[in-house]
Structures are given as structure tokens and as C-alpha cells.
Structure 1
């Protein structure tokens, strides 16, 4: 499994609209083969900072499957105008995990 992690800085006056549009845009990312789930976390200390975490089966499911799809272009149309600055996307593999 691959974890996509993205810090999103949202234009402060658009936070509520972003959160609403994010819920609607979620239909696009979740329609992609290899998608396993996602969540959006809001930072407690910095009010316009969010963390997007997406689980993918493989890296290519995100970088090729999603980013070259029509669903990505719809996601992009709905959400990319909220970011300032534009986010850096990183991918991670689990090395160790301990859950209760």
C-alpha cells in the first residue's frame, strides 16, 4: 500500500467552501481503480492548513490511474483554486506500524 500525503494551505476566506467542495469532489478520487480510502484532517494550530491522506494500492494507481483520468480533471476544477501555495504531493510506504 502507498500513502499519499499532502499539506494543503487554503485561502483563509474560502475554508468553509473548500470543505464543502472537498466532500463533493471525493466522488472523483474514490472512483479510481487502486483507491483504498482517504481522509482530510484540519490543523488545530494553523487554521487554514489541512492534511490530505490517500491510501492507494500502488504508486501508479495515483500517478497514472488518477492523474491521467477524467476524474482528476474534475477534481482539479473543483479544488485547485483553493490552494495557496500549490501543494507538494509525497508518497510513503509503511516501515513499521503499531496499533491498539
Structure 2
């Protein structure tokens, strides 16, 4: 939320700066505002899409790496035999794994 607020503050500052630099005719100001917001909304949409794609890819990559690691561990027959040969008994009172 803070990032969004900062973006809006920056937008307002730029908007004010741009309008002050222009002549003070209302039509020109209105045109500048509409043009400015149109260009920036497009930019914001691209930024949001980029952020969402990055987050999704990171999440997906973590899951993928985790699964491949598990598959590699269990695909190794020696590791699998070790795991199967160990008798794991669960103590229900303390919930400890005794190997």
C-alpha cells in the first residue's frame, strides 16, 4: 500500500509540475491531465503485469526445485532402500519419531 501511495504522490507532483510549466488555459490543463493519465495508466498496467509474473515465476520455481529435489532423492535406489529399511515408530503421546 505504501508503494502505491508513493506512486500517486509522484504522479501528482509530476502532474502539478507539468501543468505549471504549461500555460494556464483550462483546456490545455484538461488535455494534459487526460494525456498524462492515459500514458501513465498504460505504464502502471505493464508494471503490475511484470510484478505479478515475477512473483508467480519465483513461486513456481521454488515448488519445481522442491519437487525435483524430492524426486532425485527418491529416485536414488540406495537412498530409497535406506529409508525403507529404517523402521519408524511414532510415539503418540509425545509425537516423536524414533528411528
TM-score bracket for the superposition, by shorter chain length: under 0.3
TM-score scaled to structure 2, two decimals?
0.25
Structure whose residues are more often helix by fraction: 2
Higher relative contact order (Cα pairs below 8 Å, separated by 6+ residues): 1
The structure with the largest alpha-carbon Rg is 2
Structure whose residues are more often strand by fraction: 1
